């Protein structure tokens, strides 16, 4: 069941990513998500919501990010400097089922 759930999420993520628009509410990650994000925070995707606010995505959730405009500027250090202690990563299809 979890496998199916995740692959459905991956499909939705890929579809949403192509539009570069994210319409989810802002939420804090669970502790488990946070651990995963920290472990994999080398892989980024900056997204823009329909109201023009920029942020980052993890799974189906959107997190507001008060800083970098472009993907190149985004690094864990910059995000920590902005006072944000959690991270979002781009989920690629081939990473999705690994642990």
For 40-68, the pLDDT digits (tens) are 444 445 556 666 666 666 555 666 654 44
The reported pLDDT for the residue numbered 29 is 56
> Strand order in 61-64's β-sheet?
21-22, 46-49, 54-58, 61-64
Our count of domains for the chain comes to 1
- pLDDT for 93 equals 45
- Domain holding 41, by residue range, is 2-95
Q: What is the pLDDT of residue 61?
A: 61
The residue among 65 and 31 whose pLDDT is bigger is 31
b/e per residue 33-60 (b: at least 16 CB within 10 A): beebbeebbeebbbbebeeeebbbbbbe
């Amino acid at each position: 069941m979890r496998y199916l759930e995740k692959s459905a999420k991956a499909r939705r993520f890929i579809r949403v990513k192509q539009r570069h628009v994210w319409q989810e509410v802002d939420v804090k990650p669970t502790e488990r998500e946070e651990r995963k994000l920290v472990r994999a925070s080398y892989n980024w995707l900056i997204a823009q919501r329909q109201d023009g606010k920029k942020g980052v995505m993890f799974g189906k959730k959107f997190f507001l990010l008060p800083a970098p405009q472009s993907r190149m500027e985004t690094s864990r250090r910059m995000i920590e400097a902005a006072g944000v202690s959690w991270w979002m990563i781009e989920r690629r299809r081939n990473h999705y089922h690994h642990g």
